[in-house]
């Protein structure tokens, strides 16, 4: 009998009674065969690997992270709270040193959920990784964190949430946004003015194989991590780069995913997407579990695995070399020329339109970040959606200074009496409170 | 009349009873070198003066197979496995004749690589040349599709003395456990089969010809001798289940409760939820190998009447070492029993020796003998409580897989403690105080294990699995495999598994069980989707017959079981 080299806690919550709709990729069956494979392999009998029950996340855990409109509860189901709770549990296992590593094998996923939430997009309502990280920061004083998102889709939600946070490094490796939802994640997206370079995007061309993904990990991600020196590395572990995934066009195998986790050596992995539920997930999840536990995974091969059939073309290899170099340049020496153009008065401004493809909602948003010399700055998000109009989100960041705190309180009071916004959510991360002001019915 | 025998670690107990109550009981010392002689001695004593022709049922609980495994008294088994992708099957090797035959199925039971029959044949020849006469064949995902196991069985047909097919033992998915369980099932078969023959002969010698001869399983149920000869591994660890069934025979348990069975070296804890004993979710370990044998959820705490008590860091400690016997029985080291003696709660053996022991311990700590005795008693209860709470926490932490389960999952909160074993009567008030719960010490607890063995009834568990895309339905443990239509539903699956289980019990156990006794414990039906079209359903139903007391004998030995 083998024994895990790294002790590993697996928080497994397949939500066998939750689906977006009957034949939607995000449906009950999604982790069924993964569960069968893990059980049949006897994974939870391996000394050092333990299965845990998820916790249920608190509304406060969600309110700390998202501006939810019209309110927090209506954007959620119990399933989201348990999936988020399972992710938090995996974080606690590591922070409490109960386990060396943890894998939150939970659904529904979350990496397309942005700072402002009006509904579901890309199968996501709340951001599991962010909810966990902010919970751990609140309760354990966790500081620098790196989130490495290896889902095939750009994690635009996680990127948006941490756009202005210099303490959170977000790296996404994904299929090029010109060819796949959500159509973002280009090398020029480097983070906000106060966190420039702390967002890194490595878009890979369709048909990229194990070789290309592992090249980017070794030659771009690892050097950046080494420089950033995070206290915690989180793998946002989507599994849809797999050669059999029905929604994407990549050629990564279970061996590639296992090796990726061996190289990246994350403290925590959180399941994201991955919809080849029979041909990929059982093997990829098994590979990740074994790799995280430091065990041999060489026999974990899909029945239809043929390395020759998915070998990467040379021109793709060359392209990935260039894109990896671009990622390094973006992190180590990000350009700053554009910053002044985005500024009005004391505020940096960002405008965006967001489409919630899962809930069919459109949103217009204008975001203002106070250019504060002492802290990452007060954040103000004015947002209107086809569902809820005239909403305002205000946030004093975790490392907010006294001036930004006072300014936040002042604006909150002012906007309450002004009445332009009918729904205001005010997050104060310094004192850990969240207030909401609603006008009308 | 019913005859029950429990071959325990120390004593072999026998009881004879009818529907009106206990007629006779016997207790002899267990001879571990010759279990049969212990059975015969207990038999002789308990049936003396009774008309043995009237005994309709004989139930036996024995440590035979457990001991054989612990002592490594096993016959060599030829183990052939078929695996497929995943963890290297070489890592699950057991015994000295283990071979991985190329071939494999996936998680839906689809053959992804045919079995290499030539290699299987040559391995069989090789093992037979090495003198192997019993075999086990195990396939990964065989509960989904037993094809490879059946192919291997065909190659072995009529050429080996005994053969275990992995999928017949359990429908649960766990390949390494299936390998270990199948191995042990074959490895203990020769010893069990000989023992079963000898017991049958012995019954004859005493003029006993009961139509029903059963053996107790680890999950508190019984199986017939005929069944047990096929699955002897199910008879391991029946000791704790005998005591749990014993308390159920004696006391009407209705709430969440805890059973503490205090022995000399250990106290065994079992847990009841709404009066039903909890079964181990993942089954038991044998020689550090987890298996698929279902067993009562019990925990053995290294704390008993003979646990040594000593001074440590300015206070008293109890256990986990056993240094017995107690000083009252001529031992050298004071134990809990000595503390009870000295505190004038118990009057066992040489009480002066106990006082002396407590005095010496007291001097070490600067306390009076009386004070030190009470500290020992309270420390014992404190540790017992902590260990019990740890066990309950672990149970309440068990994984769940649906939102419904997560939100509805009931925590087990004991309302009452049942206490058995040597100093039970004396310890009851202290345990009650420590746990803050009422304590019941049942009558007849001295022969509770034999009563439990005598009055247990069959248990059975069956998992149905249907794949309407492949149009198959299987119930591995019942050997059922049928074609079904593409509209086969969860409702039909529920009906099918109950009907098949009842038919099996009637045909193989001569036990007509009413359908309402079969309880569905898990069920799911999930759409299987290819692209965006539903192509079928994955349907699973798991049902069981819970451990319980024979309905005819519900009131045979039941007492008031008043709280103390």
CA dist., res. B509 & res. B414, Å (int): 35
Calculate the average pLDDT of chain B. Answer: 92
Residue A247 touches chain B, beta carbons under 8 Å: no
* A70 cis-preceded (ω within 30 degrees of 0): yes
Which candidate from B113, B176, B534 shows the least CB-CB separation from A23?
A: B534
String of DSSP letters for A422-438: SEEEEEETTTTEEEEEE
Measured in residues, chain B has a length of 564
Q: Which of B187, B160, B173 is nearest to B74 (CA)?
A: B187
SS3 category, A160: helix
pLDDT value, residue A90: 98
CA distance A410 to chain B (A): 41
B107-133 confidence digits (pLDDT tens): 999 999 999 999 999 999 999 999 999
B454 pLDDT tier (thresholds 50, 70, 90): very high
Residue contact A32–B177, C-beta within 8 A: no
Phi, psi of B344 (to 5 degrees): 60, 35
Show me where the domains of chain A are located: 8-332, 338-438
CATH superfamily of B2-70+191-247: ATPase, nucleotide binding domain (3.30.420.40)
Contacts with A298 from chain B: Cβ below 8 Å: 88
pLDDT value, residue A441: 61
Which candidate from B104, B289, B529 shows the least CB-CB separation from A27?
A: B529
Residues 6+ apart with CB under 8 A from B33: none
Q: What CATH class does B252-441 carry?
A: alpha beta
Q: Which residue has better confidence, B380 or A441? A: B380
Substitution target in A40, A43, A281, A284 with the highest count of B β-carbons within 10 Å is A40
Q: Count the Cβ atoms, other than its own, within 10 Å of residue A83.
A: 31
Among residues A66, A80, A112, A153, the one annotated as catalytic is A112
CA dist., res. A42 & res. B290, Å (int): 9
Residue contact B177–A45, C-beta within 8 A: yes
Residue A167 touches chain B, beta carbons under 8 Å: no
B3-27 confidence digits (pLDDT tens): 999 998 788 999 999 999 999 999 9
Residue contact A23–B532, C-beta within 8 A: yes
CA dist., res. B461 & res. B441, Å (int): 32
CA distance B92 to chain A (A): 7
In the numeric block, the tokens 């759409």 are attached to B527
Task: Tell me the CB-side half-sphere exposure of residue A31, using CA atoms within 13 A.
Answer: 27
Residue A54 touches chain B, beta carbons under 8 Å: yes
- A24 among known catalytic residues: no
Residues B402-422 have a mean pLDDT of 86
Residues B170-196 have a mean pLDDT of 95
Which candidate from B104, B177, B399 shows the least CB-CB separation from A12?
A: B399
SS3 category, B513: coil
Instruction: Say whether pLDDT at B194 is over 80.
Output: yes
Q: Global pTM?
A: 0.92
Substitution target in B529, B531, B532 with the highest count of A β-carbons within 10 Å is B529
CA dist., res. B556 & res. A190, Å (int): 79
Which helix (H) or strand (E) is A82 found in, with range?
Answer: helix A78-95
CA dist., res. B280 & res. B297, Å (int): 4
The β-bridge relationship of strands B97-105 and B77-83 is parallel
Which candidate from A18, A40, A299 shows the least CB-CB separation from B403?
A: A18
pLDDT value, residue B187: 96
CA dist., res. B94 & res. A162, Å (int): 52
Residue A82 touches chain B, beta carbons under 8 Å: yes
CA dist., res. A7 & res. A13, Å (int): 19
Residue contact B176–A32, C-beta within 8 A: no
Q: Count the Cβ atoms, other than its own, within 10 Å of residue A179.
A: 12
Residue contact A23–B407, C-beta within 8 A: no
Residue A332 touches chain B, beta carbons under 8 Å: no
DSSP for residue B19: T
Burial A37-47 (b: 16+ CB within 10 A, else e): bbbbbbbbbbe
Whether B58 contacts B40, CB under 8 Å: no
Residue contact B526–A36, C-beta within 8 A: no
pLDDT value, residue A268: 98
Residue contact B526–A28, C-beta within 8 A: yes
pLDDT value, residue B533: 81
Residue contact A29–B526, C-beta within 8 A: yes
The β-bridge relationship of strands A379-385 and B111-113 is unpaired
Which candidate from B86, B91, B288 shows the least CB-CB separation from A300?
A: B86
SS3 category, A267: coil
Contacts with A15 from chain B: Cβ below 8 Å: 401-403
**Token pair belonging to B471:** 């149009």
Q: Count the Cβ atoms, other than its own, within 10 Å of residue B121.
A: 14
pLDDT value, residue A338: 74
CA dist., res. A120 & res. A110, Å (int): 9
Residues 23-42 of A with CB under 8 A from B: 23, 27-29, 32-33, 35-37, 39-42
Residues 6+ apart with CB under 8 A from A310: A209, A210, A243, A251, A253
Substitution target in B82, B89, B106, B396 with the highest count of A β-carbons within 10 Å is B106
CA dist., res. A333 & res. B122, Å (int): 66
Show me where the domains of chain B are located: 2-70+191-247, 77-187, 252-441, 460-545
Q: Which fold has domain A8-332?
A: 3.40.800
Residue contact B402–A17, C-beta within 8 A: yes
Low-confidence stretches of chain A (pLDDT < 70) are 1, 340, 441
Q: Is A432 exposed, middle or buried (0-12, 13-18, 19+ CB in 10 A)?
A: exposed
CA dist., res. B161 & res. B135, Å (int): 8
Instruction: Say whether pLDDT at B299 is over 80.
Output: yes
Give, in degrees to the nearest 5, the angle at Cα A403 between A397 and A404.
30
* A182 cis-preceded (ω within 30 degrees of 0): yes
* Start-to-end Cα distance in chain A: 63
Q: Is A342 exposed, middle or buried (0-12, 13-18, 19+ CB in 10 A)?
A: middle
B470-518 confidence digits (pLDDT tens): 999 999 999 999 999 999 999 999 999 999 999 998 888 778 888 888 9
B307-345 confidence digits (pLDDT tens): 889 898 889 998 777 776 889 988 899 999 999 999 999
Q: What is the 3-state secondary structure (H, E, C) of B468-490?
A: CCCCEEEEHHHCEEEECCCCCCH
**Token pair belonging to A421:** 């916004």
Whether B401 contacts A14, CB under 8 Å: yes
SS3 category, B530: strand
User: Sign of the CA dihedral B273, B279, B282, B285?
Assistant: positive
**ipTM value:** 0.93
Q: Which residue has better confidence, A320 or B265? A: A320
Residue contact A53–B397, C-beta within 8 A: yes
Residue A103 touches chain B, beta carbons under 8 Å: no
């Amino acid at each position: 009998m083998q024994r895990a080299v790294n002790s590993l806690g697996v928080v497994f919550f397949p939500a066998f009674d939750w689906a977006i709709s009957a034949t939607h990729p995000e449906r009950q069956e999604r982790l069924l065969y993964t569960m069968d494979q893990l059980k049949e392999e006897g994974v939870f009998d391996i000394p050092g690997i333990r299965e845990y029950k998820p916790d249920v996340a608190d509304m406060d855990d969600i309110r700390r992270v998202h501006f939810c409109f019209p309110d927090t509860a209506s954007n959620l189901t119990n399933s989201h709270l348990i999936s988020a709770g399972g992710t938090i549990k995996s974080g606690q296992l590591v922070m409490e040193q109960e386990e060396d590593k943890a894998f939150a094998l939970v659904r529904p996923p979350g990496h397309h959920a942005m700072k402002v939430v009006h509904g579901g997009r890309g199968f996501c309502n709340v951001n599991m990784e962010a909810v966990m990280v902010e919970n751990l920061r609140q309760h354990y004083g966790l500081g620098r964190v790196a989130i490495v998102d290896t889902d095939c889709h750009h994690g635009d939600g996680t990127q948006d949430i941490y756009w202005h946070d210099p303490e959170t490094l977000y790296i996404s490796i994904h299929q090029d946004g010109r060819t796949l939802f959500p159509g973002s994640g280009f090398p020029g997206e480097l983070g906000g003015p106060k966190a420039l370079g702390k967002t890194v995007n490595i878009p890979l061309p369709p048909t990229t194989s194990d070789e290309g993904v592992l090249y980017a990990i070794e030659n771009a991600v690892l050097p950046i991590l080494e420089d950033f020196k995070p206290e915690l590395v989180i793998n946002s572990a989507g599994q849809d780069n797999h050669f059999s995934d029905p929604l994407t066009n990549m050629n990564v195998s279970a061996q590639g995913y296992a090796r990726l986790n061996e190289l990246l050596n994350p403290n925590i992995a959180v399941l994201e997407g991955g919809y080849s539920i029979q041909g990929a997930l059982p093997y990829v999840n098994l590979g990740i579990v074994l790799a995280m536990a430091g065990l041999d995974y060489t026999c974990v091969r899909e029945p239809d695995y043929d390395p020759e059939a998915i070998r990467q073309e040379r021109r793709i290899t060359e392209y990935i070399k260039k894109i990896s170099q671009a990622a390094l340049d973006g992190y180590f020496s990000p350009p700053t020329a554009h910053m002044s153009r985005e500024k009005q008065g004391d505020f940096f401004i960002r405008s965006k339109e967001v489409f919630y493809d899962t809930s069919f909602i459109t949103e217009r948003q204008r975001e203002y970040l106070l250019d504060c010399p002492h802290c990452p700055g007060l954040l103000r998000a004015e947002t209107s959606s086809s569902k809820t109009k005239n909403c305002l989100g205000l946030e004093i960041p975790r490392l907010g200074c006294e001036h930004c705190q006072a300014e936040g309180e002042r604006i909150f009071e002012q906007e309450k009496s002004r009445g332009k916004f009918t729904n205001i959510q005010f997050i104060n991360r310094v004192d850990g409170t969240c207030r909401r002001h609603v006008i009308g019915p | 009349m019913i005859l029950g025998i429990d071959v325990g670690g120390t004593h072999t107990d026998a009881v004879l009873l009818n529907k009106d109550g206990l007629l006779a009981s016997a207790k002899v010392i267990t001879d571990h070198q010759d279990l049969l002689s212990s059975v015969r001695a207990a038999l002789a004593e308990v049936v003396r003066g009774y008309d043995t022709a009237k005994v309709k049922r004989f139930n036996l609980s024995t440590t035979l197979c457990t001991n054989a495994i612990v002592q490594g008294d096993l016959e060599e088994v030829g183990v052939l496995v078929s695996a497929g992708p995943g963890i290297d099957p070489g890592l699950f090797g057991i015994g000295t004749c283990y071979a991985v035959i190329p071939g494999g199925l996936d998680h839906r039971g689809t053959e992804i690589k045919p079995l290499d029959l030539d290699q299987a044949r040559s391995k069989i020849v090789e093992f037979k040349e090495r003198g192997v006469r019993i075999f086990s064949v195990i396939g990964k995902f065989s509960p989904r599709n037993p094809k490879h196991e059946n192919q291997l069985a065909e190659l072995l047909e009529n050429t080996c003395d005994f053969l275990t097919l992995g999928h017949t033992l359990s429908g649960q998915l766990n390949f390494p456990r299936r390998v270990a369980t199948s191995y042990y099932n074959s490895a203990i078969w020769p010893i069990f089969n000989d023992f079963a023959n000898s017991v049958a002969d012995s019954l004859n010698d005493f003029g006993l010809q009961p139509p029903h001869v059963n053996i107790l399983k680890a999950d508190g149920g019984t199986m017939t001798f005929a069944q047990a000869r096929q699955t002897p591994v199910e008879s391991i660890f029946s000791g704790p289940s005998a005591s749990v069934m014993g308390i159920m025979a004696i006391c009407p348990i209705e709430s969440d409760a805890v059973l503490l069975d205090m022995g000399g070296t250990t106290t065994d804890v079992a847990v009841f939820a709404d009066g039903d004993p909890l079964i181990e979710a993942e089954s038991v370990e044998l020689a550090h190998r987890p298996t698929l044998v279902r067993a009562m959820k019990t925990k053995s705490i290294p704390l008993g009447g003979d646990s040594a008590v000593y001074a440590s860091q300015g206070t008293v400690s109890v256990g986990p070492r056993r240094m017995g016997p107690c000083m009252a029985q001529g031992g050298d080291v004071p134990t809990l029993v000595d503390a009870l003696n000295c505190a004038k709660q118990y009057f066992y053996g040489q009480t002066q020796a106990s006082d002396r022991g407590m005095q010496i311990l007291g001097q070490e700590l600067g306390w009076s003998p009386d004070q030190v005795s009470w500290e020992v008693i309270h420390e014992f209860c404190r540790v017992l409580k902590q260990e019990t709470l740890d066990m309950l926490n672990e149970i309440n932490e068990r994984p769940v897989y649906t939102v419904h389960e997560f939100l509805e999952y009931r925590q087990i909160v004991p309302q009452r403690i049942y206490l058995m074993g040597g100093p039970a009567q004396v310890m009851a008030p202290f345990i009650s105080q420590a746990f803050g719960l009422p304590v019941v010490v049942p009558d007849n607890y001295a022969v509770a294990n034999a009563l439990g063995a005598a009055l247990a009834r069959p248990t059975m568990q069956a998992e149905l699995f249907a794949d309407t895309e492949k149009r198959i339905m299987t119930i591995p443990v019942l050997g059922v495999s049928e074609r079904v239509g593409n509209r086969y539903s969860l409702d039909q699956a529920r009906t099918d598994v109950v009907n098949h289980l009842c038919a099996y019990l009637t045909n193989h156990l001569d036990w007509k069980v009413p359908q309402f006794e079969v309880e569905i414990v898990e069920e799911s039906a999930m759409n299987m989707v290819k692209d965006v079209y539903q192509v079928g359903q994955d349907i699973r139903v798991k049902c069981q017959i819970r451990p319980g007391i024979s309905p005819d004998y519900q009131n045979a030995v039941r007492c008031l079981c008043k709280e103390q």
